[in-house]
Amino acid sequence: MTLTIIETSAQRTHQSFEKDRYLSQATADAELDAVWNDCWLMAGLVQDVQHPGDFFVFSVGLEQVLITRDDQGELRAFFNVCQHRGNRLVCETQGSTQHFRCPYHAWTFSLDGQLKGVPLIEKFTEDPRTANRDLTQVKVDVWNGMVFVHLGDSPEPLLDFLGPVADLLAPYDFGAMTLVEDQTVHLACNWKAVVDNFSELYHVDFLHPQHKRMVDCHNDLVRLFAGGHTGVEVPGGTVNQKFGIPELPTDIQSSQLLSLDLDPKDFKGRVLEVREAIQQQKRAVAKDRGMPYERFTDDQLSDVWQYNLFPNTILSFTPEHCWVLRPRPHATDPNQCEFDKLSLVRFPNQTAAAHKPILGPASRDGAAAQPKSRPDRDVFSYEAVIAGDKTMTDTIDQDVELLSQVQLGMRSRGFNSVFLNEDEVRVQHFHAEWDRRMLKSDR
Ligand code: FES
Ligand SMILES: [Fe+2]
């Protein structure tokens, strides 16, 4: 069993740190300038602003950003604030419109943010349309099907911020995947506790025992990048040998094999050969199934990758699917956050001879039917997950059910600091970058 760590930056110096970064309001306030106003943030999907007038609203803490496409086809982002008396301009989370009209006194702004209409304009001593009352612009850019915004004044280019991660993930082309589910759960924990949870596999054997049948978490490869980004690459299509090698393929392996027209029975006594068979068969059926497997390495064809973009975007993906997991800070309470899960699936293109979906090792999203229209966002509480009324998949439900307990435990007088091991090196790396930014903003 080996863990491989490839570091392209930074030393691990954060085996232990105090708990107040998860709890204190002063820290949450300081994070505004150190993190939220100084990083590119994944705001949403390009597919939600495909046409002029399409828009969506991205909330992060107290801020809201309105993202739209103007009449010239240019992507635009603005603080979601009317420039008359500061009302939130748009209340819907997404839609399509010809202009933005404030519900308070009906000031109207065009898609490129210019103030166009003002009722009873003769009552103003100065014409607001020539008094610099247009919407306040936010920097916006696009990478791999995703819209990123930067709330600061002079950000580095998005590709510089992403560094080598941008090229490593380019083959996956998330923009060619279709959104099949859009969920947000309210969690009673700090947003960083969610990032921590999705930065280590140490807990998987214990909290997610079902995973031993899916992937081999003990032969993972970890990558640490400058800027606090991290990645883990986990062999899929195999079993965790720590738990013994079964005679027959597991149910997850079997469903993957069947989706590739391979017979699980042929792998009796050869379970460890399934991974390579999946890689080869994907190459063999690529053209018929209309899947762009030629651009992936053999490992990528079978494995599950999870890359975390600092600060709060977690991408878990295979060539066939991607989960975008994103904890967003609560507006006023460091003990809460909103946690989004966007499920994307690459469907075979319609000209392919066989439209049969190919299943990956970690998600059953691939079995989803192609939706006729964009699914609505489902927003719910973690209590609804615990009650079994909502699910974000068994695995994430287990994380969601646990996280409020972590926050409560941290608040106890009986706990002062976290204490991390090598399997938690991505947690360490994330916090090293967080510290670097907080120290910088102190000066
Ligand atoms: S606050 Fe928007 S029109 Fe008055
Ligand atoms: Fe987990």
Question: Whole-angstrom Cα distance, residue 265 to residue 273?
Answer: 13
| pLDDT at residue 59 in the model | 98
- What confidence score (pLDDT) does residue 356 get? 73
- Which of 82, 108, 123 to mutate to test ligand 1, by most ligand atoms within 8 A of the CB atom? 82
pLDDT at 367: 61
442: CA distance to ligand 1 center in Å?
Answer: 36
- pLDDT score for 366: 56
- The whole-number pLDDT of residue 425 equals 95
Q: How far is CA 15 from CA 10, 128, 231, 411, in A?
A: 14, 55, 19, 20
Domain 4-36+164-247+252-442 coded CATH 3.30.465.10 = no
411 lines ligand 1 (CB under 6 A): no
Pocket of ligand 1 contains residue 91 by CB under 6 Å = no
**Count of alpha carbons within 13 angstroms of residue 250, beta-carbon side:** 23
**CB of 104 closer than 6 A to ligand 1?**
yes
Q: What per-residue confidence (pLDDT) applies to 360?
A: 72
* Whether residue 374 has its Cβ less than 6 Å from ligand 1: no
Q: Could you tell me the pTM of the whole model?
A: 0.95
Per-residue pLDDT of the chain (443 residues; tens, 9 = 90+): 567 777 765 556 678 999 999 999 999 999 999 999 999 999 999 999 999 999 999 999 999 999 999 999 999 999 999 999 999 999 999 999 999 999 999 999 999 999 999 999 999 999 999 999 999 999 999 999 999 999 999 999 999 999 999 999 999 999 999 999 999 999 999 999 999 999 999 999 899 987 766 667 778 899 999 999 999 999 998 888 888 889 999 888 998 999 999 999 999 999 999 999 999 999 999 988 889 999 999 999 999 999 999 999 999 999 999 999 999 999 999 999 999 999 999 988 777 766 677 777 765 555 667 889 999 999 999 999 999 999 999 999 999 999 999 999 999 999 999 999 999 999 999 999 999 999 887 65
Residue 368: per-residue pLDDT: 67
Q: What is the pLDDT of residue 350?
A: 72
Residue 356, φ and ψ in degrees, nearest 5: -60, 130
Helix (H) or strand (E) holding 428: helix 425-442
| Ligand closest to the CA atom of residue 203 | 2
Cα→Cα distances 189→18, 34, 43, 196, 429, Å: 16, 20, 21, 11, 20
In the sheet with 108-109, reading across from the earlier edge strand, the strands are: 100-101, 108-109, 115-117
For the 39-154 domain, the top CATH level (class) is mainly beta
Q: Is 415 in the pocket of ligand 1 (CB under 6 A)?
A: no
User: Where in the sequence of the chain do the CATH 3.90.380.10 domains occur?
Assistant: 4-36+164-247+252-442
Q: How does 3-14 read in b/e, with b if 16+ C-beta sit within 10 Å?
A: eeeeeeebebeb
**Residue 149: which of 159, 161, 157, 139 has the closest Cα?**
139
Q: Is 84 in the pocket of ligand 1 (CB under 6 A)?
A: yes
pLDDT of the residue at 201: 92
Residue nearest to atom 4 of ligand 1 (CA): 105
User: 105, 115, 116, 133: which to mutate for ligand 1, most atoms within 8 A of CB?
Assistant: 105
Residues of the chain with CATH 2.102.10.10: 39-154
Please indicate whether residue 85, judged by its CB atom, sits closer than 6 Å to ligand 1.
yes
* Ligand number, closest to the Cα atom of 121: 1
Q: What spacing in Å lies between the alpha carbon of 139 and ligand 1's midpoint? A: 24
From the list 188, 170, 157, the residue with the least C-alpha distance to 327 is 188
Q: What's the pLDDT score for residue 197?
A: 98
Is the CB of 420 inside a 6 Å radius of any atom of ligand 1? no
Q: How many CA atoms lie within 13 A of 253 on its CB side?
A: 33
